[in-house]
Each structure stands twice: as C-alpha cells, then as structure tokens.
Structure 1
Amino acid sequence: MTTLADKAILSGADNRPPMLKKDLNDSWKIIMELYMMNRQHGRMILETVENGPLIWPTIEENGVTRPRKYFELSTTDAIQADCDVKATNIILQGLPPEVYTLVSNH
C-alpha cells in the first residue's frame, strides 16, 4: 500500500504531473492534489481546480464595461490568473493522449 510519504515523493519526483491510468482515478486525484500543492502558489492552483478560475474584474470606460486586461489586474488577481493557466496545464499534461484529445478543446 502506498503511504502519504510515498505519494508526496511521487508527486514531486519530476517536472511532469502523474499520468492518469485506467482504473486509478482516486489515487491519481490524490497524487495530482499533492503535485499541485508542491508548485509555487500551490494552494491557489488547487483553489482553481476546486472552485473554478478567476472571474476577471471589470472596469468602466466611456460608459462601456469591459474585463480588465492582465496588466490592469491587482497583484493577487494576476497571480490567480497565472495559477488558472497552471492548473489547466497540469491537468492536461496528466492525461493520456487519447483522453487529452477528447478534452483539450473544452
């Protein structure tokens, strides 16, 4: 049986997230969470996975409301926007090619 310490070692063993294997969804989920937590701003990355990406703040210009551009975000929102991209990237990299092709456009 794999211990938490073993999973922690596996989750940070290299620069690629663990690959999803058939019939190992539950253990993959746990290992992916550990992998994400082991990244810079890991809690924010995991927050994206659990609660969805940042809803970009808006700004009003000349009576028109638009989402803020990246350079207009607060430091915290910019970090969260970066973590949103990292979360997506981590998940997609952990998928086998046949699954990746099914979900990459969604």
Structure 2
Amino acid sequence: MNNFGNSSALVLFWEQQSTDKESSAAGTDNRPPMLVESDYKSWNIRIERYIRSKPLGKLIWRSIQNGPTPHPQITVIEGQGDVAVQVTRDNRDEEFTKIENNKELADIQATNILRNESIHDYFVRFHKLVNDIKITQLDIPTHQMNTKFVNNLPPYWAKYVTNVKNNKDISVTTYGELYTYLKSYEPHAMKTLKKQE
C-alpha cells in the first residue's frame, strides 16, 4: 500500500512506469531516484492536515501510515463436555464494537483516498506537487510531466489513458489540458471501477 506519510512516496510517484524512451536513454530500469525526498516535507504536511480534517481523520491517517487494522477475532468454545475446544474466528458483523466499526470505516476511507480519488482530487494533488517542484527550481520536460500525470492514474483509467496517448501529443499538451480531456470520461471510468469491485 502506498504511504503518503512517508516522503519516499513522492519519489516513487515520479519513478513509476517509465516510458520506453526514458528507459532506453538511461540504459536500465534501475535508475536512482530523480527527486530528493527531503525536499517535499510541505507536501506531506498538507496531505496529513487534509486527511486529519475529515471525520475519523486520525484513524484514517493511522490506517494510511500502518496499513489496515487486522480483522477483529474472538475466541469461542465449540462443542460440549470433553469435546469442547477453544476456537479463534473472525468476528461476525453483529459482534463488532463501535470502535471496531469506526476502525473498519477509517480503513475503507484510507483505501479510497489512496486508490479511488476523483480525477479532480488527483489533478489538484498533482498540481500542488508540480508547484513544489517549481519552487525548488527543478526543470522537468513537458513530455515527462505529462507521462507521469497519465501513468499514475489508477488502473481503471487504463483505456482512457491509452486514448489520450493515441489522440494527444503529450510533448506539447499541458497536463491541465489532459485533465480537461480525461474529466469527460470520469463517469465511464467509475463504471469500470464498480464492475471491477
């Protein structure tokens, strides 16, 4: 699971899914990180504040940091007399406490934040990252910026990303224009997600 609390997530964000052009230029798929993770503390702080401002925000943040809470279990005695055996099993829905229900809800929301955000939320997050990069005066070519923008969309956007790559010249188009183009396909992408779920 991705971990927004760890600044290495920013480095991974830019390293994921390199294009054939970038790989052949580097000569290998195992390149050193192109961003220094200590440069993006402000980005981490903004994401943490945003998440903690939501209902159950502390639990959601803990779930992002540490992964989902293990399913609650209970030990019960099955059988009678000499054949009675202690068995540990997962709690049934009606056996959950309010605290366990809140933890499970926080885990679901954390997963949604990490994986199923709207394209608008993704665009805003990406745009803030680009602004942080501009502050550090790091120059990233348009082609590389756009490739990172489309390649880091969740898998249910795959066919629409392919459509963009086939119909748009990503070496001259801005990622804002790509966002506008992809935004019109969001209802279809969400249907794809629901089918996958």
Higher relative contact order (CA 8 A, sep 6+): 1
Structure with larger Rg? 2
Paired position in structure 1 for 2:58: 43
Q: Secondary structure at the match of 2:89?
A: strand
Q: Structure 1 CA distance, aligned partners of 2:89 and 2:106?
A: 22
The aligned amino acid for 1:54 is T
Q: Secondary structure at the match of 1:49?
A: helix
Q: Structure 2 CA distance, aligned partners of 1:90 and 1:31?
A: 14
In structure 1, the gaps of 5 or more residues are: 1-20
Under a length normalisation based on structure 2, what TM-score does the superposition of the two structures give? Answer: 0.35
Identity %: 25
In structure 2, the gaps of 5 or more residues are: 1-12, 15-34, 79-84, 123-148, 157-192
Please point out which of 38, 52, 55 is paired with 2:67.
Answer: 52
Paired position in structure 2 for 1:98: 151
The aligned amino acid for 2:110 is A
1:84 and 2:99 aligned: no
Higher share in helix: 2
Q: Structure 2 CA distance, aligned partners of 1:33 and 1:98?
A: 24
Under a length normalisation based on structure 1, what TM-score does the superposition of the two structures give? Answer: 0.60
1:30 and 2:83 aligned: no
Deviation at 1:97, TM superposition (A): 5.7
User: How many pairs were matched up?
Assistant: 83
